[in-house]
Structure 1
Amino acid sequence: MTKEKPRAGYTLPVFAAASSIAALQWLKQRQPIASVKVNLVNPAESVEIAIEQVSGISENTALAITRSDPGDNLDMTRNTPVWALVELSTGVGKQENSLIQNSVPNSKLTGEFPATQITLKGGEGIGRIIEAEGKAAIYAYARQLLQVNLTQLLTPEEKITVTIILPEGRQLADRTSNAAFGVVEGLSLLGTSGISHPLSASSQLDLSLEELREKIKKLNNSSLPPCPSAPLPPCPPALVFCIGENGLHFATKLGVSPERLVKTANWLGPMLVEAGAQGVREILLFGYHGKLIKLAGGIFHTHHYLADGRQEIFTAHCAKLGLPTSELQRVFAELTADAALNYLRDCDRENGSNWVEQVYQSLAQAIDDRTQTYIYNQIQQQVSVGSVLFDRQRQIIVKSKIGTKQLNQLC
């Protein structure tokens, strides 16, 4: 039997654009709309996106809804509704319209498209960027996608206000580390492409491993210093395994050379083993604590669809250190790792204790030990593994002993 190739899907900005197009078309045509064509811009192709519902709200306002389809990815936004509320008005002057054709979306944020016919807003479920005074977390590609697709539907005298809404966005955001990078209250419309490649599908692991091999090959030929504690030369420089895009961004901001950074997503186990097999002798695990905690319990594929024992692992380390039973019960009952961390922080403030330091040092040591053992059991190679865990406020919670040494050498 021939194994089917994993199916690609589309990123959230594509569905936001499709909903916006449908709402605008309804205002102009007043007819049922089953699907719309969206110019993806990147890649340079158009695709057909199904419209779940579209309806007028008032004479000049319409609402359209699509459903996110990321393809064969383990993506928490699968089937989430994406709404666009479009309000149409007239009266844009010729001088303003001349600026539309030459305008370029801001490289990072959105509020309004400067001097254009399109005002873009983030409604319920769209995250807010703390460092940008709470502006909507709708980034450059999403802005460009909306402008390219909507401008061509407008006459020179028309003007629209588009509000993107993710009804489930706030709830879904609680399962991400977005807040660690300053995005709160919802999800981001983020990305550089309209295609959602199924990199989280198991059949795509080979691609991630090949990228790791290429990274190591380049490091072997680079001028970067080798890992200082390597027992036997030659050895490539130390690698930093960043858990997802957030870890990659934070590590770069701290000054780690991009040549050393490896984005691992959830493929930690196979990626760690492959790095060891390729001769790497030092690895720093750098990530959001809610992900890395799983490694302390021996879980080496970190996607929550496959395994999630964070609260159990966290509570076990609290118990090992002697946290009172009543407080253990409270920690175990918390719904997220962040909530458990904040509860311990409250305990420390109220009682003058240092449970956070004790528990996270214990977790970090367990992460290092379990990871080193995992690699050795697979390939009988000793690899020095350190860990750095950070919270949602971009603050490092803990560095293991090995991790402290490694980070000091890398930054």
Structure 2
Amino acid sequence: MLNKTIEKNGKELRYGYTTGSCATAATKAALLMFLNQQKWETIKISTPKGWVLDLVLHDQTFSDHEASCSVVKDSGDDPDVTNGVKVFSKITPSDQDGIAFAAGIGVGTVTSVGLSIPPGEPAINPTPREMITQEINNILDSEAVKQLSNLPKGWRVELSIPQGVELARRTFNPKLGIAGGLSIIGTSGIVEPMSEDALKASLKLELSVLQARGFKEIIFVPGNYGKDFSDELGLDENVLVKTSNFMGFMLDEAERMGFEK
């Protein structure tokens, strides 16, 4: 648990950490278990925000051909559907150079243009990829590991979230063109509770996807009542975006991005 708080509207709200941080910690621990052939109970990682997380590990297994473990996602006081889920990482040696990412059960695959990851790739966002790669390289660059013999040319990192298929239906993922599960996300590694910036970023992402798909006209509604009215009018739900309290912000963004109507 991350015991850092922020005051919002007179309330002390607790920070959490992202699925990207969970995946990074699980991958780092899995690699250490594979290389040392011993069990780890906790693991420390650095985050882009500058905070160091010390996370508890679960489901640790290792052998001479792979290792895996999980970290439980803690969203703090943010209303996040992924709170409490286990994020697993399985690492296996590869005869291919570098680090290859794979989507296990419950982690989605990108199927549409307009996102930061190209179609066909696992829905593991750029920052988590960078975090995982950095932690792997830090381990491999250590003097103790450099002295090991028969190290593989590369590594395969498979991330999974067993509850991800079901939970993804409650997220933007199906509409954004991410199939089969959740995304591994996070730009700072930390979840700020009730963050307006995070909500705005999600809404802007919807616009980016619609723009990349070639749509010139979009429909904004504040929420579910607006969507119901739109449905009654027979309007195209594929170009409908719920803006919540950010209608003005979204109108400005739509104009900036060149939408015509």
**C-alpha deviation, 1:33, in angstroms:** 1.5
Q: Does 1:360 align with 2:209?
A: no
Cα deviation per residue 1:94-126 (whole Å; 9 max; x = unaligned)?
xxxxxxxxxxxxxxxxxxxxx52x222111111
What TM-score, normalized to structure 1?
0.47
Q: Is the 8 A contact 2:70 2:87 kept in 1?
A: yes
Cα deviation per residue 1:176-201 (whole Å; 9 max; x = unaligned)?
1212111111111122111100126x
- The alignment partner of 2:223 has SS state of helix
Q: Does 1:286 align with 2:217?
A: no
Alignment of 1:8-157 (within 5 A): 8-40=15-47, 42-56=48-62, 58-88=63-93, 115-116=97-98, 118-131=99-112, 132-154=118-140, 155=145, 157=151
Out of 250, 257, 261, the residue aligned to residue 206 of structure 2 is 250
Higher Cα radius of gyration: 1
Aligned residue type for 2:125: Y
**C-alpha deviation, 1:252, in angstroms:** 5.5
Cα deviation per residue 1:323-376 (whole Å; 9 max; x = unaligned)?
xxxxxxxxxxxxxxxxxxxxxxxxxxxxxxxxxx7x4328xxxxxxxxxxxxxx
Measured in 1, the distance between the counterparts of 2:88 and 2:156 equals: 14
**C-alpha deviation, 1:285, in angstroms:** 7.8
Measured in 1, the distance between the counterparts of 2:236 and 2:85 equals: 28
Q: Is the 8 A contact 1:178 1:246 kept in 2?
A: no
**C-alpha deviation, 1:4, in angstroms:** 6.2
Q: Is the 8 A contact 1:19 1:66 kept in 2?
A: yes
Measured in 2, the distance between the counterparts of 1:184 and 1:32 equals: 34
Aligned residue type for 1:292: G
Aligned residue type for 2:105: E
* Residue number in structure 1 paired with 2:180: 185
Out of 161, 178, 182, the residue aligned to residue 166 of structure 1 is 161
Q: Is the 8 A contact 2:22 2:73 kept in 1?
A: yes
More relative contact order in 1 or in 2 (CA 8 Å, sep 6+)?
2
Aligned residue type for 1:248: K
What is the alpha-carbon root mean square deviation over aligned residues? 3.6
Going from structure 1 to structure 2, the CA distance change for 1:198 and 1:246 (only over 3 Å counts) comes to closer
Give the fraction of aligned pairs with identical amino acids, expressed as a percent.
23
Q: Is the 8 A contact 2:37 2:64 kept in 1?
A: no
Going from structure 1 to structure 2, the CA distance change for 1:71 and 1:85 (only over 3 Å counts) comes to same
Point out where structure 2 has 5 or more consecutive residues left out of the alignment: 1-6, 113-117, 212-217, 242-246
Aligned residue type for 2:12: K
Q: Is the 8 A contact 2:220 2:240 kept in 1?
A: no
Cα deviation per residue 1:233-271 (whole Å; 9 max; x = unaligned)?
xxxxxxxxxx7544323346667xxxxxxxxxxxxxxxx
- The alignment partner of 1:6 has SS state of strand
How many equivalent residue pairs? 221
Query: Which has more strand, going by share of residues?
Result: 2
Point out where structure 1 has 5 or more consecutive residues left out of the alignment: 93-114, 201-207, 212-242, 256-283, 297-309, 318-356, 363-388, 398-402
Measured in 1, the distance between the counterparts of 2:72 and 2:38 equals: 20
Measured in 1, the distance between the counterparts of 2:16 and 2:126 equals: 20
**C-alpha deviation, 1:82, in angstroms:** 0.6
Going from structure 1 to structure 2, the CA distance change for 1:253 and 1:6 (only over 3 Å counts) comes to same
